[in-house]
Structure 1
Amino acid sequence: MEYRGLSLDAFQEQAIQFIEQKKSLIISAPTGSGKTLIAEYAIAKALKEGKEVLYTAPIKALSNQKFRDFGQLFGREKVGIMTGDVSFNNEAPILIMTTEIFRNAIFEDPKRFDDVMYLILDEVHYLDDIERGSVWEESIIFAPPHIRILCLSATVPNVMEIADWISKIRAEKIEVVMEDKRPVPLKEICYIEEQGMLPFEDAARTLPKKLKKIALAKDWKTRTTSTQAIENILDTIRKEKHYPALYFVFSRKECEANAFFCRKYQLLNEQEQNIMKQRVLDLVQAYKLPKTALKQEPCTLLIRGIGYHHAGMIPALKEIVEQLFTEGLIKLLFATETFALGINMPARSVVFHALKKFDGVEVRKLTTLEYQQMAGRAGRRGIDTVGYVYTNLCSDLVTQTDLKQVLKGNLGEIQSQFNLSYSTLLALYERLGKDVVHACEKSLGAFHQLSLAEKLGGKQKKKQIHEEQQRLVKKKLTLLQSLGYLNSGGLTSKGRFACFVNGYEIQLTELFFSGYFEEQNETDLFIILVSLVFESKKVYGRKPKTLKMFQKLEKELVKRIQPAQSMEAMLGLKEDIRLPDFGLALASQAWAQGKIFTSLPQYTNISPGDIIRNFRQAIQLCRQLYKVCHGYKAFTNLLDRCLMTVNRDEVNALAQLKAFASIKPEAKAEEK
C-alpha cells in the first residue's frame, strides 16, 4: 500500500485499516519509524468527511512545528493552534493544542468538540511525566465519548495495559498496533580511553564489572579530557562521513562550551557558507531580531556549520537553529535532550557526551527509554542505510552493568501520575457533586492496582484500593470547603472563579477575592504574576533572599496565600500551592517599564530563554484572568494595559509563530 507516494510498512497499513474503520488505537513504535504519517492519514480522512481533528503535543516547540507542517500539507487556513502562549485560527478543522489546553476546554466548553472525529495524542508515553502526566490521564478520561483516540507512543512494555485501561474507561475497544523494528538499523559504537572506538559488545567486555574505591576517588584531571574525547569522536565522524551529527550534552553550559571548542572546524564548503550566510540573514530578519545578532553567538558559529540548541536560548534563535538543521546546513549540532522530544529532526549519527545526567535532584544514569528516544534520531529514513550512535565513555565512571542497562536494558513501564488539580476537581464537582470522589477510580494507577487485586482474587483488597483513591479527593474537597470554594449548595463564587483559572488557581483566586489585584498598577501586577510562575530552585537549586525593594510586596502576597498552603500541608497533600518567588522581579519590573530585552542581563543572571518562558507564562495567567473577570471593567482595563506593555518584541509568542509559519524551507543541502 502507498500513501503520498511512500510505500507503507505493515504496521502503518494495519493502523490505516483501523482508521478507515473509525476505531480508536494506540501505536507503539520506535522513534523515526513513521508514526506521524499515520496521524496525517487520520487528519486527511477527517477533513474528507467534513470532520475536525485535535492534535495534542507535550511541548510547544513540537506544537509549533506541527502548525507549520500541517499548514503546508493541508493548507494554512485549515490549521489553528492554542498553546497558552498563542491562540490563532482556533475555529480551524485541524486544531493543535497543548494537552493542558485541551483538558481545560473539555470542562469549559465541551460542545465545541461535537464535530471532532479524532483526538491525536502525540508522545503519549508522557503519561509517565511526574509534573504533567496527570493532565494526559485527565484528557483521556474526560474527553467526550464520541471522539476516537489515536495515541502515538515510543516503544513501551505495558502498552497492552494502557490500551486495556483506555478501553475500560471509555467503553470502547482500543486497537493496538506494535512495531519493534527500526526502519534504519543502528550501529552502536563506544569511545573508551586508550582503546579508542569499539563496538558496543567489545566495549562492554572492556569495562570493569565494579568500580573500585580507588576509581571513585580518582582525580578527573587524570582522565582523558572532555575536549580530547570530542576531537577523537569527531575525527572518526568526519573520516567516515557520518555528518550531520547530533551531539547530546546534558548541560546547557557544556553544550555551548563544546560548540565553541569546535569553532576551529569549518564543516561547510564555500558554496554552503554563502548559502548559510544568506539564510541566517533572512531568518534573523524574519524573526525581527536585532542586526547585532548576526555578529553574536550562535550566528557566528553557524557559518562554520556548527550550532547549539538548549532551553536557555531565546525561542526565535532555537527555531532558527532547528530550521537550518532541517535544511542540512548545520552539520554538527550540540543539543540538550529536549531536542529529542518529538521534534522530527533526524541525523546520520548521534553522539552521547555521557550516559549520566543531573535531573534536578541527583546525578543518575539515563533510562533506556531516554537513551532510545535520543539514539533514535540517528539514521534518516530514505537517506541512510544505517544510523550511527557514538557514546563517549570517558566523561563518566561507567561499569559493564551501567552500559548494558542504559543501552540494552528493559524499558520501564509507564506509571500513573494522576493527581487532579483543584480547578479540575471543582469543574467535576459542578457536574458530579459528591460523586466526584469516584473520579480517581478511573486513573491508570487505580486500574493497575485493581487488575493486580483481581488476579490475587482479593475483594477486600479491591475495596481498600477504592478507599485509598477516594481519600485523596476527599482531602482536596476538605481544603476547598474550608477555603470557601464549596458549600452545601455546590460551588461558591470563589469556586466558579477557580474553575476557569488553570494553574495557580488557588493563589490567583485568593488574591483576586481579597481585592489585592485592583490596588496594583500594570508593572506591579506583572511582577506579581511572574512571582507566581517562577521557581528559583529550578535555576539555582535554592531560593535566594528577596531584594529589599520587593519585600513588602512579597509579604502582602504571602499573607493572602500562606493559609491555603498551610492547610494543604496539614492535610498531607502534595504541595501544589506554592508561595511567590521574587527571583525574577527586578527583570520583570524593567521589562514592564519598557526596557529592551537585551538590557535584561543587567537585572538578572537567568538565561534569556528562561526569562521569556516565565514572562509568557505570566502573560498566560493575565489572559486567563481577563477571560474570567469579564465585566469587571476597572480590573480588565488594568489587565489590558499590562498585556499591551509586556507582550511585545521577543516575548510576543504570536509574532514569533507567524514568522516561523511564514518561513519557506530552502532545498536541503547536499551531503559531503
Structure 2
Amino acid sequence: MQSVASGPSPTCGEVIAAIQDHLPALYFAFSRGRTELLAEELGREWDFLDAGEKRTVTRMIREAEEGNPGLFGPRRQKLRRLLHQGIGYHHAGLSPLLKDLVERLYESRLIYVLFCTETFAVGVNFPAASTVFDSCRKWDGREFRPLLNREFFQMAGRAGRRGFDPVGRVYVRIDERFPEQTGFYREDGVEPVRGRLSISPNTVLSLLCWKTDEEIRRFLEQNLAVYQNSRESREIKKELPRLEEKAADLASCFCPERGQPCCQLFRLKLRKELNQLNKRRRRNRAGSRDRREEIRALLQTERKKCRYKACQEAEKKIRRLEERIHLLHRRLQQLEQNSRDYGHEFKSVWGLLERMGYVQGRELLPRGKFALFVHVQEILVTELVFSGIILESTPVEVAAILAGVDYQPGRDEQVVSPPFSLVRVEELRRFLLENGVPENFCVWSPVPAALAAAWYEGASFEQLLGMCNLQEGDVFSVMRREIDLLRQIERAAGEDRTLAALARELRRRLDRDEVAVLGV
C-alpha cells in the first residue's frame, strides 16, 4: 500500500499522474456526488482512449440506447462524454441499465479510471490493476469515522488482475488534516462478522406457526449473535484474572518505601512535576510557588540506595497491563449492555400481537394469517388492509400509499405532492404509535407517493425525474420495492379475490419499461 501526496491534498489528476503506469484503477469515494465531481475533474485533464477505442464505446452506447432511448437523459450527458474519454462513475443513483453499461465498458477495458462508491466492491467481481482511496474516512449515518479493517480490505482487494498483474497496488490519498487515516490497516485485524437477529412481527408469527415451543427456545438461545456475544464474554472473563495476577506478580518487587520521598521512582515523578511548574505559563498560577517549595523540601530527603530500574521497568509493564485490563472491563460492560434477551423480545412482540388481535395464544387469527406472508412493515401493511383503507381507495391512491411503506426520505429530498390526500394513512400510523406499536414497525412516508401515482397512470421515467430531485436509481428502487410488496400482498390475500386482483393489477401497471428491466 502506498500513500499519494502532493502538498496537503493532491487532486485526483495528480493522483492519476502518479500511478498512470498502473491502470485501470478503481477510485473509491464515499458519496455519490463526490464520484461525479472527481470524474468531471479528471475529464478536464485526461483522455485515455484512442480513436479505435472511442468507436467501440460509441457502438456499445448506441446498442444500449436502442432498447432505451432515454438511457442518459438530461442528467447524465456529462457521463456520456466521460465514457468516450475512458472515465466513468458508478453508484446506486444510476439506473440499472446505465450501471450495466458502465460495468460492460469496464470489463471491456474501455474505462481506465472508474470512480465508485464502496457498493461496487460488494458482490461484483471487477478487479483492477490499482485501487485508490479518495479518503479513509466515511459518514456512517451518525458521524465521520475511519474505515474498518474489513471495509478497507474489501475494496483494496480489488487490486490485482489474475493473469495480468504480478501484484495489486493500493493507493491512499492523504489529507494531512486527518493523519489517522493513514490507517495501519492489518489483514490479521479484520473485524469478525457479527450475527444479528431481528425479532419482527413476521419472525414471531412464523415461529408460532411453524415451530414447537422447544424449537423456538433453541432458536432464541442458540443463534449466532448470542453465541458470539457469550463466547467473547467468556474469553474476556478468563483473560482478566490472568492479567490481574501478572500485574500482582510484577508489583511484588516493590519495597515498602514505594511512594515515599526516599524512593527514586517517587523522586523522578516529583522532578517531572517540578519541571512543569517551573514553566512560564504555570509559574504564577495560584498555589504553584507553595507546591514548588514543598517538592524541593521532599527532594532534600536522602535517597534510598537500591536497584530502582527494576522497579521502573515493572511499573511500565504494570501500567500497560492496567490499560489492557481497563479496556477489557469496558468491552465487557459494552457486551453486557448490548446483549439482547431475545426471549424477552420475542415475548414482548408476541404480547403486542395478542393485544392487536393478530394471535390468541399460539393460534393465528385472520390478521396474523395475513401478516405471516408480509415481510416488510407487516403490522402497518396489515392494518392498511384490515382498516379498509386499501380497498376503499382508488387504485392510483393505493399505488401512492404503498410506495411510502418502509420509505425513509433523505434530508434534502424533494418530490411534488400527490393530487389527493393521504391523511387517512397518517391518522392510522398515529393511531398505531399511540397504541404501543414501536416506530420501527410502522415506517411510512408520503414523499414518494406522487411518483408511484404518476407511474401508475402511465408517466414516462423522464417525467418522474422532472417531479423530484431523486436520482434514477432511487426512483427505480421505490418502484421495485412496491412491486415486491404487492407480490407479498397478493399471496397474503388468500381467498380474498378482490384484494388479490387489485394487487395483481397494480403490479402489472407498475412493472413496465425502465422499472421492469430487472423484473420477473
In the alignment, is residue 441 of structure 1 matched against residue 221 of structure 2?
yes
* Alpha-carbon distance in structure 2 between the residues aligned to 1:507 and 1:427: 17
* Alpha-carbon distance in structure 1 between the residues aligned to 2:145 and 2:115: 21
What pairs with 1:315-354 in structure 2 (closer than 5 Å)?
Answer: 315-354=96-135
Change in CA separation of 1:372 and 1:505 when aligned onto 2, cut-off 3 Å: same
SS in 1 for 2:172: strand
In the alignment, is residue 556 of structure 1 matched against residue 424 of structure 2?
yes
- Are the counterparts in 2 of residues 546 and 582 from structure 1 also a CA contact under 8 Å? no
Q: Which residue of 2 aligns with 1:591?
A: 455
- Are the counterparts in 2 of residues 245 and 347 from structure 1 also a CA contact under 8 Å? yes
What pairs with 1:86-235 in structure 2 (closer than 5 Å)?
Answer: 188-194=1-7, 224=9, 229-235=11-17
* Alpha-carbon distance in structure 2 between the residues aligned to 1:412 and 1:580: 34
* Alpha-carbon distance in structure 2 between the residues aligned to 1:515 and 1:558: 14
SS in 2 for 1:364: strand
What pairs with 1:585-624 in structure 2 (closer than 5 Å)?
Answer: 585-624=449-488
Q: CA deviation at 1:590?
A: 1.9
Change in CA separation of 1:470 and 1:260 when aligned onto 2, cut-off 3 Å: same
Change in CA separation of 1:334 and 1:506 when aligned onto 2, cut-off 3 Å: same
Q: CA deviation at 1:378?
A: 0.5
> Residues 546-600 of structure 1: CA distance to partner in whole angstroms, max 9, x if unpaired?
94855x41x311332344444556xxx6x43134201122222222221111112
In the alignment, is residue 404 of structure 1 matched against residue 186 of structure 2?
no
SS in 2 for 1:533: coil
Q: CA deviation at 1:327?
A: 1.4
* Alpha-carbon distance in structure 1 between the residues aligned to 2:34 and 2:232: 45
In the alignment, is residue 517 of structure 1 matched against residue 390 of structure 2?
yes
- Are the counterparts in 2 of residues 523 and 589 from structure 1 also a CA contact under 8 Å? yes
- List alignment gaps of at least 5 residues for structure 1: 1-187, 195-222, 458-463, 658-672
Which sits farther off after the overlay, 370-379 or 411-420? 411-420
- Are the counterparts in 2 of residues 479 and 567 from structure 1 also a CA contact under 8 Å? no
In the alignment, is residue 393 of structure 1 matched against residue 178 of structure 2?
no
* Alpha-carbon distance in structure 1 between the residues aligned to 2:5 and 2:188: 20
| Pairwise CA RMSD | 2.8
* Alpha-carbon distance in structure 1 between the residues aligned to 2:338 and 2:14: 56
> Residues 607-662 of structure 1: CA distance to partner in whole angstroms, max 9, x if unpaired?
1111110111011111111122143232223223312222111111446x8xxxxx
- Are the counterparts in 2 of residues 310 and 335 from structure 1 also a CA contact under 8 Å? yes
In the alignment, is residue 472 of structure 1 matched against residue 345 of structure 2?
yes
- Name the amino acid aligned to 1:258: L
Q: Which residue of 1 aligns with 2:241?
A: none
SS in 2 for 1:351: strand
Change in CA separation of 1:246 and 1:291 when aligned onto 2, cut-off 3 Å: closer
Q: 531, 536, 540: which is aligned to 2:411?
A: 540
Q: Which residue of 1 aligns with 2:94?
A: 313
* Alpha-carbon distance in structure 2 between the residues aligned to 1:307 and 1:467: 45
Q: CA deviation at 1:421?
A: 2.2
- Are the counterparts in 2 of residues 313 and 609 from structure 1 also a CA contact under 8 Å? yes
> Residues 433-476 of structure 1: CA distance to partner in whole angstroms, max 9, x if unpaired?
5543542112212213443576669xxxxxx9999331111111
SS in 2 for 1:298: helix
- Are the counterparts in 2 of residues 309 and 336 from structure 1 also a CA contact under 8 Å? yes
> Residues 507-556 of structure 1: CA distance to partner in whole angstroms, max 9, x if unpaired?
111111112211122211111111113211xx217x98994855x41x31
* Alpha-carbon distance in structure 1 between the residues aligned to 2:37 and 2:487: 38
Q: Which residue of 2 aligns with 1:217?
A: none
Could you list the structure 1 runs, at least 4 aligned residues long, displaced by more than 6 angstroms after superposition.
464-467, 543-546
Change in CA separation of 1:298 and 1:453 when aligned onto 2, cut-off 3 Å: closer
- Are the counterparts in 1 of residues 451 and 464 from structure 2 also a CA contact under 8 Å? yes
- Name the amino acid aligned to 2:5: I
- Are the counterparts in 2 of residues 562 and 579 from structure 1 also a CA contact under 8 Å? no
What pairs with 1:569-584 in structure 2 (closer than 5 Å)?
Answer: 575-584=439-448
* Alpha-carbon distance in structure 1 between the residues aligned to 2:386 and 2:27: 51
- Name the amino acid aligned to 1:341: V
- Are the counterparts in 2 of residues 530 and 615 from structure 1 also a CA contact under 8 Å? yes
* Alpha-carbon distance in structure 2 between the residues aligned to 1:466 and 1:577: 21
In the alignment, is residue 271 of structure 1 matched against residue 52 of structure 2?
yes
* Alpha-carbon distance in structure 2 between the residues aligned to 1:465 and 1:589: 42
- Name the amino acid aligned to 1:556: R
Which has the larger Rg? Answer: 2
Which sits farther off after the overlay, 630-639 or 403-412? 403-412
- Name the amino acid aligned to 2:197: F
Change in CA separation of 1:380 and 1:489 when aligned onto 2, cut-off 3 Å: closer
Q: Which residue of 2 aligns with 1:416?
A: 195
Q: CA deviation at 1:245?
A: 0.8
Change in CA separation of 1:568 and 1:407 when aligned onto 2, cut-off 3 Å: farther
SS in 2 for 1:480: helix
Change in CA separation of 1:406 and 1:568 when aligned onto 2, cut-off 3 Å: farther
> Residues 399-424 of structure 1: CA distance to partner in whole angstroms, max 9, x if unpaired?
2x442344678222322221222112
- Name the amino acid aligned to 2:424: E
- Are the counterparts in 2 of residues 498 and 505 from structure 1 also a CA contact under 8 Å? yes
Aligned residues: 418
SS in 1 for 2:440: coil
Query: Normalization by structure 1: what TM-score?
Result: 0.58
Query: Normalization by structure 2: what TM-score?
Result: 0.74
In the alignment, is residue 253 of structure 1 matched against residue 48 of structure 2?
no
SS in 1 for 2:211: helix
SS in 1 for 2:11: helix
In the alignment, is residue 481 of structure 1 matched against residue 354 of structure 2?
yes
Change in CA separation of 1:254 and 1:235 when aligned onto 2, cut-off 3 Å: same
- List alignment gaps of at least 5 residues for structure 2: 239-336
Q: 372, 389, 392: which is aligned to 1:499?
A: 372
What pairs with 1:619-634 in structure 2 (closer than 5 Å)?
Answer: 619-634=483-498
* Alpha-carbon distance in structure 2 between the residues aligned to 1:525 and 1:591: 12
Which sits farther off after the overlay, 609-618 or 448-457? 448-457
Change in CA separation of 1:626 and 1:289 when aligned onto 2, cut-off 3 Å: farther
- Name the amino acid aligned to 1:603: M
Change in CA separation of 1:633 and 1:431 when aligned onto 2, cut-off 3 Å: closer
Q: Which residue of 1 aligns with 2:286?
A: none
Q: CA deviation at 1:303?
A: 1.1
- Name the amino acid aligned to 1:370: E
